[in-house]
Amino acid sequence: MVTQRAQVIREGLVAGLLGYIAVAAVFVILNVAQGLSPVHTPHVLGEALLGGWMDPLEAWTAVIAFNGVHLLATLLLGIAAAFLAARAELDHGLAMGLVFFVLAIGGFVPIFFGAITVEFLHALQWSEVLIGSVAGAVGTLGYLAWAHRALVLDLFEEAEV
């Protein structure tokens, strides 16, 4: 038997993983569409995280570093969002808190990377980071809405009254 805590953690890991995949897919699509390497964006952000431009032979270090940090962050975000979704089952007022939480984190990401990567601004389109953040939020919230269908239906019914 799965405990409620284990279920919330599982939902959070799936939600976070879907958010991660959505962001990665956006980066790959936008990079390839511009004729860049599929890993251009994670490479630039990884260099920023590691403190500066890297030797081209060490480029994969930056890509792996960024993806590791990004995966961990989205998994933690997913768990926190799943916890809020579980609590919203008991208190529907928290449902909007869940949406605002995920969107606030999604909005914080471009600001955070903008602050730490000022010298990299010419190598990265911040609109792409914003699009990736929105895609991640949609992936995370979409899965949680599916996992908590009854909550979503209840909220729509309450809104009709």
Residue 35: what pLDDT? 96
Please provide residue 92's backbone torsions phi and psi, each rounded to the nearest 5 degrees: -60, -20
Q: Where are the domains of the chain?
A: 4-160
pLDDT along the chain (161 residues), means of 10: 88 97 96 94 84 73 91 94 88 77 73 62 73 90 91 78 61
Closest alpha carbon to 74 in 8, 6, 137, 147: 137
Closest alpha carbon to 102 in 71, 130, 138, 68: 138
Residue 22: what pLDDT? 97
The pTM of this model reads 0.84
How many CB atoms neighbour CB 92 within 10 A?
A: 12
How far, in Å, CA of 62 to CA of 50, rounded?
7
Residue 128: what pLDDT? 81
